[in-house]
Amino acid sequence: MASTHTWQWNTVADAAELEDAPPRLAPQQAQPWCNFTLWHPAELPGGCDAAVGTLRKEAPPGRTDASAGRTPWSDANPAAYRTEISGGGRRLRLKQFLYDWAFPAADHPCLWGSETRPFPIGAGRVVWLGTDYLGHRAASARMSRTTVELSVLEGEFTDEELVELYRALRPADAEAPARIVRTPFSELSYWARHTTDMISVPTGLYFFHRRDRPHEGDWVPTAELPSFLAAQGLPGELGGFAPDSAAVFTAGEGARELEVIYTSEAGGGELRLVLQRPGAGRMPYPPEREKHPARTQETRVRGRSVHMAFVDPAVGPFDAVWQDPSLGVEGKLLSSAGQGLDKEFALGCLDTLLSCSLLAGRGAVL
């Protein structure tokens, strides 16, 4: 019997068994096939009277003739749900999935490179409005681990209509969000469970060399996570966020990076910490800015210089990078966006991290 505390979902045993095209499926029927919280709108924008959803089911990596709806950049077959909302000559698309092949850059990767604006949508969450890579008016939010992306396909929608659509989203299964947030990322993630090429994408506001080879992470078993973090001298909580998952990634020429994910059950917020020995991983130092619009500042925390980049000081997201060659470590802390996850919150997390014993050379992994 499946656990009532964590999430279990259906998958297709072989890519050859996938449908020729993603089938139409109501959200309530599709949720058991998703490794993420599935949302549906309780209200549609004015004049819209149709909402058609299709499910892309999860299957092991592989390509067959049944490739409709699959990314051309990878042979991975993760789950995703697509909804088209239309009426009155207007049409938009919602796409929902677990963004798990990298940290979602700036917390709204589909808007990468465009000017973005945050709006509160309840439960501490924010939605970002901007322009997507196709030049469409677009929006993005992370809600209980789900990345919910919107793209306007026809006609015009006001800011207020797009924000209200996000505020009207409700879980397809009322019990799913809490169970999915309680399930460790390492157990949900397609890329943590399958060996396939990762997708080369930006991961933050500062440059990080892409992880675009077959997945190279060695994930710590969930039951061993507390003792693993203790052995590294890392905190058992960070800014009120609990440790969720950890992995060791092997970069070129045997260099290694330690990555730790901390999450909050209240809304599914996330902190992601990456540590490496100086010059031995994928983080250049001094850090190099990516092209996404953001503010930067250099500050000092516990006597160390820290470079910070952020889109909005009140809600984030934050990308902080530091180096201390004398202690033999470089670090990067990434945060998701949300109300309460402001600059003071990020600085408090950095203060906790820079007091840890790993940063005094105790950590055994790197």
Task: Give the model confidence (pLDDT) of 241-297 as tens digits.
Answer: 999 999 998 876 677 889 999 999 876 799 999 998 887 778 889 999 999 999 999
pLDDT tens digits for 156-182? 999 999 999 999 999 999 999 999 999
Q: What is the pLDDT of residue 325?
A: 76
| Interatomic CA distance for residues 241 and 250, integer angstroms | 26
CB 150 within 8 A of CB 94: yes
Mean local confidence (pLDDT), 118-131: 97
Confidence bin at 212 (pLDDT 50/70/90): low
CA angle 28/9/162 to nearest 5° reads 45
Q: Six-digit token pair at 320?
A: 């902080």
Tell me, what's the pLDDT at 360? Answer: 45
Alpha-carbon span 41 to 51, nearest angstrom: 9
Residue 366, pLDDT above cutoff 80: no
pLDDT over 70 for what percent of the chain?
92
Contact 206, 294 (CB under 8 A): no
Q: Residue 1: what pLDDT? A: 31
Say which amino acid occupies 30: A
* Least-confidence region, from 92-96, 125-129, 194-198, 219-223: 194-198
Tell me the average pLDDT of the chain.
Answer: 91
The number of residues making up the chain comes to 366
Q: In the prediction, which pLDDT does 346 show?
A: 98
55-96 confidence digits (pLDDT tens): 999 999 997 665 555 666 678 999 999 999 999 999 999 999
What percent of the chain is predicted at pLDDT more than 90? 77
Among the residue ranges 22-36, 62-76, 101-115, the one predicted with the least confidence is: 62-76
Q: What is the DSSP string of 33-99?
A: G-SS--EEESSPPTT--EEEEEEE--B-S---S--TT--TT-S-B--EEEEEEEETTEEEEEEEE--
Degrees, nearest 5: CA angle 327-328-331: 100
